[in-house]
Amino acid sequence: MQDIFKFLNVDNNFTPDLSQKYNVTQIKRMPRNTQLHNFLNQENPIKSFFKVLFPVELRKIMREIIREKNTVQVREPFKPSLSPQFRQQLLEEYREDLLNLQTLIDRDLSAWLV
């Protein structure tokens, strides 16, 4: 944080109050179907077509019902898991980028490569 404050020309003696947490919930919601979730949250021709057919309030109600049906609650702390094979594939694919980033920011990121 001090490096960021220095970069932003903030007083070196400044210490932010980190005791207050914002937008914290005990239960997280995750989509069951990510394609449906993306469809609801991104512009697309089908949604544009429905905008002409249905009034705003009806669309909001339909969207909320679909969102509710398409989500599952997970308790904190929740960390999605990767299969070991997929994790290894990602490590192999991004190893060079991580090493370059490590050099660029002058930080040890070796824990990311384990």
User: pLDDT band at 20, cuts 50/70/90?
Assistant: confident
pLDDT for 99: 94
Distance CA 42, CA 36 (A): 10
Q: Phi and psi dihedrals of 31, rounded to 5?
A: -70, 140
For 22-67, write each residue's pLDDT tens digit.
776 666 778 889 899 988 888 888 888 888 889 999 989 998 999 8
- Please give the mean pLDDT across all residues of the chain: 86
19 has a pLDDT exceeding 90: no
For the residues 5-27, what does the mean pLDDT come to? 80
Domain positions in the chain are 81-114
Letter string b/e over residues 1-38, b meaning 16 or more CB atoms within 10 A of that residue's CB: eeeeeeeeeeeeeeeeeeeeeeeeeeeeeeeeeeeebe
